[in-house]
Amino acid sequence: MTQTPTTGAPAASATAPADPTPAPPTPAPGAEVLTPAGVEPVLVRHRGRWLHGWDPEAPDQWRTAGRAVARRNLVLSILAEFLGFAVWALWSIVVPQLPAAGFTLTADQMFWLIAVPSLVGATLRIPYTFAVPVFGGRNWTVVSALLLLLPTGALVWAVQRPDLPFGALLAVAALAGVGGGNFASSMANISFFYPEREKGRALGLNAAGGNVGTAAVQLAVPLVIVGAAGVHLERAGLMFVPLAILAAVLAWRLMDNVKDAAADPRAYGSAARHRHTWVISFVYIGTFGSFIGFSGAFPTLLKAQFPDVTLSIAFLGALVGSVARPAGGALADRLGGARVTVAAFAVMAVGTVSAILALRAGSFPLFFGSFLLLFLATGAGNGSVYRMIPAVFRHGATDDADRGRRAKAAAGCIGIAGAVGAVGGFLVPRGFAASTTATGGIEAALWVIVATYAVMAATTWVVYARRGSAFGDAVI
């Protein structure tokens, strides 16, 4: 046995200078240190896949471990959000097929079935936003994926009963709103994983991946439901069961919760008290609300206005809007979100006026092309508005602590704006229903939409892009 000397020279540990590089902490059982020795801050993954010490703004941590962790969570978030959007938009393509399945519905009832999932989804985005700081992004992704089994199972039951009362059918359609809530929690969660310089691109990809779910379901359902014995609408719900389970398993095994993101749920309350949260939310009704509203109504509009046209092409509108979203975010990173948003509203107004002219001329090519232009501009506007949010909230920050508070408030704004913006998915189809009832067509509703775009463009310019505004010459 080696004995410690009691006389002579002092032990080396008593006189040697302290190692200037702090050693990483010893991980607790079931935990692992993700960053190499000497990298600060130390990043540790604890049991339950909770990340401690996460700081994407730290260059060394981001280079050695952070980027890979963020990319993996982004990919899995996109998958879960993709399915959420697909389920949310499921009734947009099921409704035009209901008459072939034996249902007898008025035009007003059909627009109700399209609009109600959007309203429910918009409402659920508020609690879904709070779910991330309370439960953790990974944990809530698992829960939200499994919740998709409820609306899809109910659809399988309902579409096989043509004698079902309309109120019951409407309640089943409303359940699809749980898919709309996924967007808010996913976007708020991913905002914590990326540094400010890459937020626009990451959030754009995350949102676009979800938006593509709208196009995918409108493409897939007409193909899946066709059978030798006629239309089998129950297949539209059944096809999502294995996909939802797969998304939940992958999220459980591979995603992470960010400890710092869960530290202060009250930060979302501070976002609600910030006036720019509501200005941005108003603007977002025009971009995302138009996207989700037109996506939901487009198949029914095509069926009503041009009955000889195959319904399977309706997916192209949502696809164009989805693909344009990350491009809008990237363009906003270079030119400023406010400027790109104003330009998007101008193009949206042009597309809407062109659709009106197409209806008057009875021209399907012009009508379809006008809506593709409209979808393109809504997608770009979605990306640019979400690029504005972190820029607006970090403007005027005084120190690191203030920047941290503002970053959490920006994440709250993302959730709130997503909820308010989604209300457009209810307003657009109900506007078409009211216009059809009052005038026999949708032209009046389209003119109201053009005027709304003008107001929203002016609001964006005056508050965020005009020289002499509260933001000065900052690129917002």
Residue 15 located in a structural domain: no
Residue 130 located in a structural domain: yes
Tens of pLDDT, residue by residue over 100-113, are 889 999 999 999 99
Give whole-number Cα distances, 390 to 289, 322, 420, 467, in Å.
20, 21, 18, 20
Say if CB 222 and CB 316 are below 8 A apart. no
Of 161, 436, 165, which is closest to residue 300 (Cα–Cα)? 436
Say if CB 234 and CB 160 are below 8 A apart. yes
Residue 19 located in a structural domain: no
Residue 24 located in a structural domain: no
Sheet strand arrangement including 257-258: 32-33, 44-46, 50-52, 257-258
Beta-bridged to residue 52, according to DSSP, are 44
Domain range for 202 is 35-465
Tens of pLDDT, residue by residue over 279-319, are 999 999 999 999 999 999 999 999 899 998 888 899 999 99
Cα–Cα dist 80/354, whole Å: 36
Residue 21 located in a structural domain: no
Say if CB 420 and CB 118 are below 8 A apart. no
Residue 6 located in a structural domain: no
Tens of pLDDT, residue by residue over 130-149, are 788 888 999 999 999 999 99
Tens of pLDDT, residue by residue over 63-101, are 999 999 999 999 999 999 999 999 999 999 999 999 988
Question: Three-state SS for 105?
Answer: coil
Residue 105 located in a structural domain: yes
- Domain holding 179: CATH number? 1.20.1250.20
Query: What is the count of structural domains for the chain?
Result: 1
What is the value of pTM for the model shown?
0.84
Measure CA of the first residue to CA of the last residue in the chain; give whole Å: 69
- In this prediction, residue 302 carries a pLDDT of 92
Residue 145 located in a structural domain: yes
Cα 442 to the chain's mean position, in Å? 28
Copy the structure tokens of residue 176: 């699809």
Beta-bridged to residue 44, according to DSSP, are 33, 52
Residue 228 pLDDT grade (very low, low, confident, very high; cuts 50, 70, 90): low
